[in-house]
């Protein structure tokens, strides 16, 4: 069967074919963009590391003035460590996944290029409290941690950075012993760790983290509590609250949550978006299936007698399959190409809304191939049903 004959059949029943083509085009446009956003969402979720599986973040707010914050911090540490479930307490500001947090602008080499990073001010227990191991270098010692009571002019001079920041600044060379520079301060890198992200982990600066050995205690104080009994986390949270409120100083415990719960809360939007996109994708697949099924069914009912006559005149089953599948494949390809052009038209909006630079060609190819397979499977199914009938049944009852 030549192209002219195929086009003649399509034009003869152009309305159902046009409806199928439009639905396929719209479905491809939506599916290409939805799959691209879904993959980006899953990538963002997977790239957010799981920190502190056995760690609880505590935030306290002091309700009275004139408090010796350093002395109270030491009292809190001793009281918390008296619990048999607790093995490490670290004072850190902020805590991972806590949102917000301080930032710092680093200069890269002699160029004017700058890089904004997230900063953690913490003691020597910060890494053990998060179950983080260094990939290079060493941890801070207690003597290297700048106390909260130090003069304002006294600043930390050492730093531990994450692997992402090390690669961004130093490339493939070792950062150990090298200096990173701000406009007014320099820090010597003594360690590199891999999985740490900033408190505001979804921002660009959250990918680059810097840990400084310095205590930041005050009206708002945060700490990380590591436990060896994570299976009884809810009971432990109550015990921690009891310890905090048992102290004489008046305080409010504003946060008492496992770090992984904060991670899930921070990724709630991405998880909800992923669920919605999966539902949209399934809905459009069902719509396309229903539309293709209806058009194919209508087409076969309308041309059943002519197909029987063609068989009587010697047209083989394989020739009929080839002819009909070519018709529907041509309509499907037109719909796929139209949908691809429409998805490219919306590419700029997709980039601005979800930071997706370009929809992968493999996504378009996979969806287009899927549409062709769906159409041809439905066509072959109906052909098989038609060819089960005898010529007499087709011609006289069709």
pLDDT for residue 354: 62
pLDDT for residue 294: 87
Which helix (H) or strand (E) segment holds residue 235: the answer is: helix 233-246
pLDDT at 158 over 90: yes
pLDDT for residue 90: 96
pLDDT at 391 over 60: no
Distance of alpha carbon 190 from alpha carbon 350, whole angstroms:
41
pLDDT for residue 355: 62
Of the pLDDT bands very low, low, confident and very high (cuts 50, 70, 90), residue 346 is confident
Q: What number is the average pLDDT over the span 303-307?
A: 59
pLDDT for residue 190: 96
Per DSSP, the three-state class of 186 is: strand
Of the pLDDT bands very low, low, confident and very high (cuts 50, 70, 90), residue 360 is confident
The least confident of 2-16, 113-127, 218-232, 337-351 is 2-16
64-94 confidence digits (pLDDT tens): 888 999 999 999 999 999 999 999 999 999 9
Q: What number is the average pLDDT over the span 94-101?
A: 85
pLDDT for residue 174: 93
- Percent of the chain clearing pLDDT 90 (strictly above): 39
The least confident of 144-158, 212-226, 278-292 is 144-158
pLDDT at 204 over 90: no
Tell me the torsion sign for CA atoms 160, 163, 165, 167.
positive
Per DSSP, the three-state class of 253 is: strand
pLDDT for residue 244: 93
Distance of alpha carbon 376 from alpha carbon 323, whole angstroms:
12
Q: What number is the average pLDDT over the span 128-143?
A: 93
Of the pLDDT bands very low, low, confident and very high (cuts 50, 70, 90), residue 348 is low
Of the pLDDT bands very low, low, confident and very high (cuts 50, 70, 90), residue 363 is confident
CA angle at 116 for the pair 113 and 120, rounded to the nearest 5°: 145
Half-sphere exposure (Cβ direction) of 289: Cα atoms closer than 13 Å = 9
pLDDT for residue 32: 86
373-383 confidence digits (pLDDT tens): 998 898 888 77
pLDDT for residue 153: 60
Of the pLDDT bands very low, low, confident and very high (cuts 50, 70, 90), residue 117 is very high
244-281 confidence digits (pLDDT tens): 999 889 999 999 999 988 888 888 888 898 999 999 99
The least confident of 36-40, 109-113, 236-240 is 109-113
Q: What is the mean pLDDT of the chain?
A: 83
Q: What number is the average pLDDT over the span 2-30?
A: 73
210-220 confidence digits (pLDDT tens): 999 999 998 99
Q: What number is the average pLDDT over the span 4-11?
A: 56
Of the pLDDT bands very low, low, confident and very high (cuts 50, 70, 90), residue 231 is confident
Helices marked H in 267-316? 268-312
Per DSSP, the three-state class of 158 is: strand
Q: What is the DSSP letter of 139?
A: P
Tell me the torsion sign for CA atoms 45, 46, 48, 49.
positive
The least confident of 41-45, 157-161, 285-289 is 41-45
Distance between first and last Cα of the chain? 23
């Amino acid at each position: 069967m030549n192209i002219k004959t195929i086009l003649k059949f399509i034009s003869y029943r152009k309305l159902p074919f046009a409806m199928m083509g439009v639905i396929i085009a719209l479905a491809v446009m939506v599916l290409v963009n939805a799959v691209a956003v879904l993959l980006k969402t899953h990538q963002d979720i997977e790239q957010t590391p799981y920190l502190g599986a056995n760690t609880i973040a505590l935030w306290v707010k002091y309700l009275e003035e004139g408090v010796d914050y350093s002395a109270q911090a030491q009292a809190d540490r001793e009281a918390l460590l008296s619990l048999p479930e607790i093995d490490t307490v670290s004072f850190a500001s902020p805590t991972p996944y806590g949102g917000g947090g301080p930032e710092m602008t680093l200069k890269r080499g002699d160029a004017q290029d700058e890089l904004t990073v997230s900063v953690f001010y913490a003691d020597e227990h910060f890494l053990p409290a998060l179950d983080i191991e260094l990939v290079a270098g060493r941890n801070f010692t207690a003597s290297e941690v700048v106390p909260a009571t130090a003069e304002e002019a006294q600043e930390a001079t050492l730093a531990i950075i994450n692997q992402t920041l090390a690669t961004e600044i130093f490339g493939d060379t070792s950062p150990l012993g090298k200096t990173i520079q701000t406009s007014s301060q320099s820090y010597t890198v003594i360690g590199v760790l891999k999985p740490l992200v900033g408190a505001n982990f979804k921002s660009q600066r959250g990918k680059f983290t810097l840990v400084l050995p310095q205590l930041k205690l005050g009206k708002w104080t945060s700490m990380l509590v590591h436990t060896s009994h994570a299976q009884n986390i809810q009971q432990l949270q109550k015990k921690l609250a009891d310890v905090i409120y048992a102290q004489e100083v008046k305080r409010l415990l504003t946060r008492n949550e496992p770090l992984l719960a904060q991670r899930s809360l921070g990724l709630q939007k991405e998880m909800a978006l992923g669920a919605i996109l999966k539902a949209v994708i399934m809905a459009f697949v069902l719509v396309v299936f229903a539309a293709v099924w209806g058009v194919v069914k209508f087409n076969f009912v309308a041309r059943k007698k002519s197909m029987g006559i063609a068989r009587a005149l010697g047209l083989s089953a394989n020739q009929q399959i080839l002819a009909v599948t070519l018709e529907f494949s041509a309509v499907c390809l037109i719909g796929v190409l139209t949908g691809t052009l429409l998805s490219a038209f919306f590419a700029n909006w997709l980039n601005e809304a979800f930071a997706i630079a370009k929809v992968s060609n493999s996504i378009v190819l996979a969806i287009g191939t899927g549409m062709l397979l769906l159409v041809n499977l439905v066509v072959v199914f109906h052909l098989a049903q038609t060819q089960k009938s005898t010529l007499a049944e087709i011609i006289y009852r069709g």
